[in-house]
Amino acid sequence: MVRVRENFVCEYCGKKVIGDGYTDHCQKCLWGKHVDKKIPGDRESSCGGMMRPIESLYEKGKFKIKYVCEKCKHEFVVKEGKNDNRERLVELTVRG
């Protein structure tokens, strides 16, 4: 993972997000933007599409969020952020 400190306004819900160096999605709605290619923070993608959270996985006391790009259909998994909306993470959890 590459640490990149960036603040941004969520293009999905409009929340101002203060980045901590690992922030790659909105803590409120969990949507992100397709800017990474292989590693969170690499900023190697030129797509720029919106990354829709499609599910969350709960493992070892932490959530991981699975995304799909609305533009190119690229799928990506990232770790939860420390201030992520827990209610939304639980809503996205796949029950086995």
For 45, the domain range is 8-92
Task: Indicate whether 29 pLDDT > 50.
Answer: yes
The overall average pLDDT reported for the chain is: 90
Domain count, the chain: 1
Q: Report phi then psi at 93, rounded to 5.
A: -65, 130
Please tell me what DSSP assigns to residue 28. T
pLDDT of amino acid 95: 57
Domain assignment present for 1: no
Mean pLDDT, range 3-20, rounded to an integer: 91
What span, in angstroms and rounded, lies between the C-alpha atoms of 33 and 45?
Answer: 10
Kindly state whether residue 63 falls inside one of the protein's structural domains. Answer: yes
Per the CB < 8 A criterion, the answer to whether 55 and 78 are in contact is no
